[in-house]
Amino acid sequence: MHNTFQGVVAQHDLQAGVTYLCWGDLAVRMPLAAHLQVGAPVTWEIPADQVRLPSNSQRPARPLDSQFAATVVRIELAGENIQALCTAQAVDGCNVLVITDAGIARAHGVVHGSSLVLRLRGEHIRVRPAASKEV
């Protein structure tokens, strides 16, 4: 399962190897895609299992991770995992599907209506021009 969103290429940081996408009021990091023109509208995808709850460890965030605040609007148990549909607070009306281990979700207090911070694992983002159907 994938999340699919619309965004705009905001900038490329050639030295850091990062492309920034504007997604609502958020800047999302992904691997450098310098072939995309700054200002170009894009469609981007990320697998639902690569939208993560924050780490409880003291390890620093990965360089391509992007965090955002969200509210859980629906939660379902699916075997040993949960599927949580969350609304990104800085992206008007945009829902994000999260699939994670049920034990991890319980440890983070993920319940209907809860507010939490989610992490997009940027190395798993795939992008294409907005008019294109290919990934």
In angstroms, the first-to-last Cα distance of the chain is 14
Cβ-Cβ contacts under 8 Å for 105 (sequence gap 6 or more): 53, 75, 82, 84
Per-residue confidence (pLDDT) for residue 57, from 0 to 100: 59
As given in the structure block, the two tokens for residue 25 are: 């009021």
pTM of structure: 0.87
* Chain segment 25-73, per-residue pLDDT in tens: 999 999 999 999 999 999 999 999 999 987 665 555 678 999 999 999 9
pLDDT, averaged across the chain: 90
Query: Which tokens sit at 88?
Result: 């990104």
* pLDDT reported for residue 135: 45
User: What does the pLDDT average to over 92-119?
Assistant: 91
Domain ranges of the chain: 2-129
Q: How far apart are CA 19 and CA 7, in angstroms?
A: 12
Q: Which two tokens stand for residue 119?
A: 């992490």
3-class secondary-structure state, position 133: coil
Contacts of 28 (CB under 8 A, 6+ apart): 7, 20, 21, 22, 44, 66, 120, 122, 125
